[in-house]
Amino acid sequence: MNIKLNRGSTIPLARQIEEGIADRILSGHFDPGAQLPTVRELSRVLQVSPVTVTHALKLLEERRLVNRVKGKGVFVAADVVGTSWQQRKSEENNSPPIPDYVHRSQHFHFNRTAAAINLSLSTVHPHLLPTQALADSVTRMIAADPEVLAQFGEIQGDTELRNYLAQYMERERLQVSPEQILITNGSQQGIDLVARCFLGPGDIVVTEEPTYSAAIDVFKSRGATVWSVPVDQEGMRVERLLPLLDSGGSPKLIYTVPTFHNPTGTVMSERRRRELIELANQLNCLVLEDDPWSEVYFHEPPPPPLQALDRRGSVIYVKGLGKMLAPSCRVGYLIASGRVRERLLAAKANADLGNPLLNQKVVLALFQSQVFSRYLNRLRKDLAQKRDLAVRLLEEYAPTGVTWNVPRGGLNLWLSLPAGANALLLLERAEKESLHFLPGSACYPGDVEWNHLRISFSCVTDEELEQGIRLLGRLMQEYLTLPSGQKGTTPYF
Amino acid sequence: MNIKLNRGSTIPLARQIEEGIADRILSGHFDPGAQLPTVRELSRVLQVSPVTVTHALKLLEERRLVNRVKGKGVFVAADVVGTSWQQRKSEENNSPPIPDYVHRSQHFHFNRTAAAINLSLSTVHPHLLPTQALADSVTRMIAADPEVLAQFGEIQGDTELRNYLAQYMERERLQVSPEQILITNGSQQGIDLVARCFLGPGDIVVTEEPTYSAAIDVFKSRGATVWSVPVDQEGMRVERLLPLLDSGGSPKLIYTVPTFHNPTGTVMSERRRRELIELANQLNCLVLEDDPWSEVYFHEPPPPPLQALDRRGSVIYVKGLGKMLAPSCRVGYLIASGRVRERLLAAKANADLGNPLLNQKVVLALFQSQVFSRYLNRLRKDLAQKRDLAVRLLEEYAPTGVTWNVPRGGLNLWLSLPAGANALLLLERAEKESLHFLPGSACYPGDVEWNHLRISFSCVTDEELEQGIRLLGRLMQEYLTLPSGQKGTTPYF
């Protein structure tokens, strides 16, 4: 266990250790019932006093994540929710534990499910995709130029595709040159490359609260300190950063999903966008703009991307095309300039020496076929209908006290149970009936709110959506009417 | 500039700082003539005394990597070889430098070339690949199952492909289950995933000396300390690890290319393989076995993979299929078991949420088409011929004093100039005549030997090979007969 401690931080060391171990438990890195290292061992490895370790373990015990057994040691609670529903293979328990640096992988953990109705997949259902057009593009492209198959691509990505993407971004109100574009394996790799370039132990990264769970996983695994600020109807509450700055330290990176925010669906107003850029410039810090689906607006287009408002080259823009266009190609890209781009390119080389060329050529062929803009228009309508259906179903089946947003774009709904409820316990019940969703707790980097959940309406058929929300409604009803003693026996209150 | 200092190491801090800055200069991360941060600034950032920084800068000055200008500061030498041949774009110099964690990227740096004859590409020439069979596989696969295009793959990789690879590895004398296999974006990502899981600042990794340059880049960028041991005709000299252990510290990972070693082409004997496994078990450390091309033996098959000799699950096996089969698909894989596999899988999720599915299905289709084994037999013969041609040409054109290995498999020749020569200076001359090769210096993690170079005979036509080696011969001749004053005016002696 390698927990990165930030000795200059205002967060006490015991809290940092508690969080490091909690992250691992909630990512399923420890089996339920597994023994933790001894106080002495932790004290040695982490180079802190035994008193600090004991305090951290006490905090974990209070959260019911671990149990202390007198004379034997400290054990991960056997009933840790979020871990126990995940059946582990016995093989995995035999090999000796080797200290590792994957501090958190909750996104991965909560996406491993065999549930029949999966409301956690934030991608577009195959039935809505232009599959036949994709197939035709592939076949045509291969027939015209089979030699593509025998070539490695450039590390930065195929020049032809980058030329096209530069034009495409112009329609999205962003002026970029093909040299500024770096092709990545999905947007996830874009986030990861930025983190591996610019974040390390002790560096501070700011995120929205809640935010995209897999981004938290990446930042924490780099050993960075994550500050988070809440979102409201105008997006990230930029002004809430100021008191954090007074506490000492200055962020190196601000990560944001400004448009159809993941998971809450809100859109950052243009005013806030300008405030954010200005603050970033004052702080001399980078901004990572994650734009998964700004094209998928339901009625009116969102404000221009942050990068369009940036004159200093401090915004890095990240985008994935897989979820809305060609999942099997997983082509994403990032846009950066100057030295930042140069570093990201070197990091991409170290990471994997470049994306496969085949997929890039397939996506390019699809773009060139003119199918894309027709498809996008249809997708907007299809997803708006799906959102409407989901909202109607929630109105019908959700019990009193449950609230949700009505997003104007994107693929997700963010549900809130009454305070005091725990969506992880709800998930445990749902899994038993083969229904899955993303527990909102995975979207908090620090102090977790347990009473939220995210459902995606985009990757299920209308029948599954109806079945899923009806079932979810019944499960919420049952859970919320439990006697408060039972409802409260969670490890987290 | 984030230089990871290992304060528990026996290597003096000044030497560590020197190496950190030298790595960046030789990776082209600083422009020639660029000013380094001041002694005071470096002292503050690295938390060492100004005396230590001054000593480190003096060591860099002795290597002629930097120049001190009285009253002005310290500057990267304007004539640093290995950097200056690389023309930089002016745009890149305008943005402010932001401290980053990409400590070294020499592999990337030395692969950026527009030379007409490129002897540094260690891949198979398109003319030797089964391109038409690949094209047919793609077309057939898409026609039979266009829905593949609309699906995200599993994070671990396509089940069907993993089933096939398990069978394939059995023929390579390795018993594995599909669950142990994780599909990666080339072997490079396999190496990177292992490093990001198990190496961090202060951890020790052992490599061969010389070794694969991009692996050094990855290990150093994780902030790990790299120990290296020489190779001889039996491969890694395992016994040379023992005195290093006496100096304190214990490796967490041993990285090796046992079969047709990159760059020297040697094959580790079975005896050494067993010794290495035994030592790793004693040290309780992991072994990363990089096997780029053991199938491409010219006459007799090499000994079984290290992983076949391992009973404790401490060997991680990494393989890429791109370079010898389908470059545009870049499908690689790693094999690991137990908790190690589980961690690598979580790291893969954090890194990019999984390989694209399309390429995996294309490679699977090619495997299933039965073309593969016929192709492999032909490739062995083709490459053996190319090696013979390269050796004949060297015998004809290389000046006296230049030596090389004769590899029994793989794609590379390792050339040695007389001691005191510097292949970087030779590269500078070669680039001017549009010839490129890999300078051997990129293959050393620590104390560099400057007089070697690697040429690959696999990714050029016979005509290019002849032209390239004839030109190389002349350039070596010219360089070696320079007056020793001129030959020696390198920044490195």
Question: Using a CB-CB distance cutoff of 8 angstroms, which residues of chain A are in contact with residue B327?
Answer: 149-152, 357
Q: How far is A49 from chain B (nearest CA, A)?
A: 19
CA distances from A400 to A392, A428, A477, A484, B469 (A): 15, 21, 9, 17, 80
CA distances from B12 to A260, B20, B425 (A): 52, 13, 30
Say if the Cβ atoms of A150 and B143 lie within 8 Å.
no
Asked whether the predicted pLDDT for residue A369 surpasses 80, the reply is: yes
Say if the Cβ atoms of A134 and B149 lie within 8 Å.
yes
At residue B491, the pLDDT reads 46
The lowest-confidence range among A149-153, B178-182, B231-235 is A149-153
Q: How far is A342 from chain B (nearest CA, A)?
A: 8
Say if the Cβ atoms of B185 and A184 lie within 8 Å.
no
With CA atoms as reference, the chain A residue closest to B127 would be A150
Given CB atoms, is A152 within the 8 Å cutoff of chain B? yes
Asked whether the predicted pLDDT for residue B79 surpasses 80, the reply is: no
Say if the Cβ atoms of B350 and A214 lie within 8 Å.
yes
| DSSP-based three-state secondary structure for B228 | strand
* DSSP H or E stretch at residue B261: none
* CATH for the stretch B109-123+373-486: 3.90.1150.10
Residue B7: pLDDT band by 50, 70, 90 thresholds?
Answer: confident
In angstroms, the CA B169 to CA B175 distance is: 7
Residues A13-91, CATH architecture = Orthogonal Bundle (1.10)
In angstroms, the CA B53 to CA B38 distance is: 9
Inter-chain contacts counted by CB atoms under 8 A, chains A and B: 284
Asked whether the predicted pLDDT for residue B81 surpasses 80, the reply is: no
Given CB atoms, is B307 within the 8 Å cutoff of chain A? no
Residue A79: pLDDT band by 50, 70, 90 thresholds?
Answer: confident
Preferred mutation among A353, A357, A361, A458 to probe B, highest tally of B CBs within 10 A: A353
pLDDT digits (tens, 9 = 90+) for A176-195: 999 999 999 999 999 999 99
**Regarding predicted confidence, which is higher, B233 or A82?**
B233
| CATH 3.40.640.10 domain range(s) in chain B | 131-368
A363: CB partners within 8 A, 6+ apart: A161, A321, A325, A326, A329, A331
In angstroms, the CA B258 to CA B303 distance is: 9
The lowest-confidence range among A116-130, A406-420, B78-92 is B78-92
Q: How far is B124 from chain A (nearest CA, A)?
A: 9
Asked whether the predicted pLDDT for residue B93 surpasses 50, the reply is: no
Q: Which of residues 46-105 of A touch B (CB under 8 A)?
A: 89, 91-92, 94-102, 105
Q: How far is A194 from chain B (nearest CA, A)?
A: 10
At residue B489, the pLDDT reads 44
CB atoms near residue B247 (< 10 Å)? 10
| CATH 3.90.1150.10 domain range(s) in chain B | 109-123+373-486
Of A29, A135, A322, the CB nearest to B142: A135
The DSSP 8-state label assigned to residue B331 in this structure reads: E
Tell me whether 0.95 is exceeded by the ipTM: no
In angstroms, the CA B432 to CA A358 distance is: 33
Of B185, B286, B339, the CB nearest to A352: B185
| DSSP-based three-state secondary structure for B74 | strand
At residue A372, the pLDDT reads 86
Given CB atoms, is A362 within the 8 Å cutoff of chain B? yes
CA distances from B443 to A302, B217, B410 (A): 50, 10, 17
Residue B447: pLDDT band by 50, 70, 90 thresholds?
Answer: confident
Given CB atoms, is B192 within the 8 Å cutoff of chain A? yes
The lowest-confidence range among A201-205, B3-7, B215-219, B286-290 is B3-7
Q: Which two tokens stand for residue A80?
A: 């840790």
Q: Is A409 exposed, middle or buried (0-12, 13-18, 19+ CB in 10 A)?
A: buried
| CATH 1.10.10.10 domain range(s) in chain A | 13-91
A131-368 sits in which CATH class? alpha beta
pLDDT digits (tens, 9 = 90+) for A392-404: 999 999 999 999 9
At residue B430, the pLDDT reads 96
In angstroms, the CA A111 to CA A86 distance is: 10
Average pLDDT over residues B243-267: 93
Average pLDDT over residues A26-51: 89
Of A198, A217, A328, the CB nearest to B356: A328
